[in-house]
Structure 1
Amino acid sequence: MTSETTHVPHLGGTGELAGRTVARIGYGAMQLERLRDDRSAAVALLRHAIDLGVDHVDTAEFYGNGFVNSVIRDALRPEDDVSIVSKVGAVSDPGGPFPMRVAQRPEELRAGVEANLATLGVERIPVVNLRRMDVGFTPPIPDDQVIDLDDQLAVMTALRDEGKIGAIGLSNVSLDVLRRALPAGIVCVQNAYSLVAREDEELLKLCAAEQLAWVPFFPLGGALPWMPKVTDEPAVIAAAERLGCTPAQVGLAWLLHHSPQTLLIPGTATTSHLEANLAVGAITLDGETLAALDAVPTRPATLPHH
């Protein structure tokens, strides 16, 4: 391996996250749970990501019921200087109908931050996202979990003032909620968004106007059976063939080209996919290719009927 490979992710340029310059391609750690039976492999994969220049890792205490955070704790060293972004608003529920349940009450948000601090083994988390349930697919929401935004931001702000979190982000939010939250000093927004799911275009424009990082999850769609997949699109497949890369790489490259606010956090449990994701930073989409991709229609997910 040559020394040049350490700069691969930076070919996608850099962006801002909570006042810090980071590579635009980070790592979403959720899929590390797939390596639960091979902890050393999970640690090695994350170390490889860091060695290749990843300096922005997205996680949550409810990923693997603390397992993923513990892998991050074991893999990262202080000198790595990696920005960890976690989230609160849900908790693990291994025995329930969903792997997680909502936990929106202020005292639950505080407990979630404390749990993240414990499993990550840190005294302060650079960014913590408040995962709301305003848009998209969410677990069932009991009435006592429908909490006013101001009450939630009050506890998040208190945690920031106490030094337990460095900055506040939002996830799964509507345009109105983001507007209401801006005075609290929001630094990033995480919503489901991809080439085939662009319902949040106005939200993205507001992030650009306010200089907030835009961190799309489900960046290739298809994460759930009823969601359209970016990699199924003829225009994406044609672009991949022309460029000599994979349809997944085209879908990720489009996100980087579409808005300079975008920070990617693709996740994987394999070395080959990790390297392919980081190589996206070197892909250039010409005007004709971008026009063909931009013409792909957005298609909302069709939720199954119960």
Structure 2
Amino acid sequence: MTAETAAGTFRIGGDLEVGRLGFGAMQLPAGPADARAASVAVARRAVELGVTLIDTAHLYGGGANEELLAEALYPYPEELLITTKVGVARSAETGEWGLDGRPEVLREQVDHALRRLRVERIELLQLHRIDPEVDLAEQVGALRELQEAGKVARLGLSEVTAGELARARELVDVASVQNRYSVGDREHEAVLDACAAAGIAFLPWRPVLGAVPPADAAGAPDAGGPQAPYRVIGAVARELGATPVQVALAWLLAHSPVVLPIPGTAKLGHLEENVAAAGVRLEPAHLERLDALSS
């Protein structure tokens, strides 16, 4: 059973069908040579396991991550969606990364992404962050122009509030939102609710936050309180014969039908663990305990 068949599918933008359990490529190193070869192997194994949604971005190595995925997977299987993000750039003066939503920068990054991914059209392009120094209408307007030019098929946003999502939807059709969200971190519940109401795909990044104990500065586990998320998640995992990470991903899949988790890893073992989460079934009593963590 593949990730797609076990977790079900979702139609992004109403027409682009992908498996609900995806893969975030951010952690894949593009070098040196031995690390790059391992990254290529992980990306290929993800597709072998049935993953049909892979997330990358210009920020990840200044496009090096996009080139890595093309090396690993091109020519792409027909069912595979590689989504990328633009809107974060490195300063030529300081070398520091920062938000940059100027239309000319967005257009340039899209052109680079097309070349690096070896495609004529990006099926799903997401604005990595809204640049507060540039009017929102200018940013999404530039993306809409790229869509009208045929370089982009569907548009998404990342790390937005419910209000920002509503304003953007007045200007463009929003097909996806990528916000930080997990069983242990539900700051963006209102955004998820808005996506669910509108049928917008919600791609949580850091989807397993809270599944394992945090470490303090010295590297020792933090004991936390008696209801620390990882304690509850760990107890459920033991009852199911699963891992805490698998329980965290299974909760996301059960929490809302518009949720498409994109866990990332650079290790084959962790990848297979993540994909196997699609087969974990949470009983109502488990869901009740995990849902209660929001309080």
- TM range, normalised to the smaller chain? 0.7 to 0.9
Task: For residue 86 of structure 1, give the secondary structure of its aligned residue in structure 2.
Answer: strand
Q: How does 1:1-306 map to 2 (within 5 A)?
A: 4=1, 7-18=2-13, 19-33=15-29, 36-38=32-34, 39-78=36-75, 80-81=77-78, 82-92=80-90, 100-133=97-130, 146-183=133-170, 184-221=172-209, 233-297=230-294
User: Compared with structure 1, are the counterparts of its residues 45 and 96 closer, same or farther at alpha carbon in structure 2 (3 Å cutoff)?
Assistant: farther
Q: Is the 8 A contact 1:213 1:262 kept in 2?
A: yes
Q: What secondary structure is seen at the aligned counterpart in 1 of 2:26? A: helix
Deviation at 1:65, TM superposition (A): 2.4
Segments ≥4 residues shifted beyond 6 Å: 222-226, 228-231
Residue 216 of structure 1 contacts residue 264 of structure 1 at CA under 8 Å; is this kept in 2? yes
1:215-256 Cα shifts (integer Å, max 9, x gaps): 001112269989x99995211010011111111111111111
- 1:302: which partner in 2? none
Q: Which runs of 5+ in 1 are unaligned?
A: 134-140, 299-306
Inter-CA distance 113–231: structure 2 relative to 1 (3 Å threshold): farther
Superposed CA offset, 1:104-159 (max 9, x none): 211111111112112212221111101224xxxxxxx8xxx611111111100000
**Partners of 1:285 and 1:206 in 2: CA distance:** 25
Residue type of the alignment partner of 1:84: I
From the superposition, tell whether residues 190 and 290 of structure 1 become closer, same or farther in structure 2 (CA, over 3 Å): same
CA contact (8 A) 1:35 1:269 kept: no
RMSD of aligned C-alpha atoms?
A: 2.6
Aligned length: 281
Is the CA contact 1:10–1:24 (under 8 Å) kept in the aligned structure 2? no
Give the C-alpha shift of residue 55 in structure 1: 1.1
Q: Aligned residue for 1:303?
A: none
Q: Report the Cα distance in structure 2 between the residues aligned to 1:262 and 1:87, rounded to whole angstroms.
A: 18
> What TM-score does the superposition give when structure 1 sets the normalisation length?
0.84
Pair 1:220–1:214, CA change in 2 (3 A): same
Give the C-alpha shift of residue 17 in structure 1: 1.6
The one-character-per-residue Cα deviations of 1:245-303 (angstroms, maximum 9, x if unpaired) are 111111111111100000111111011111111111100000111000011136xxxxx
Q: Which amino acid aligns with 2:291?
A: D
Structure 2 unmatched ranges of 5 or more: 217-221
Could you tell me how far 1:191 is from its partner in structure 2? 0.6
In structure 1, what is the Cα distance between the partners aligned to 2:168 and 2:52? 27
Q: Secondary structure at the match of 1:157?
A: helix
Answer yes or no: is the 8 Å Cα contact 2:3–2:51 preserved in 1: no
Equivalent position of 1:136 in the other structure = none
* Same amino acid, percent of matched pairs: 38
Structure 2: how far apart are the matches of 1:53 and 1:117? 24
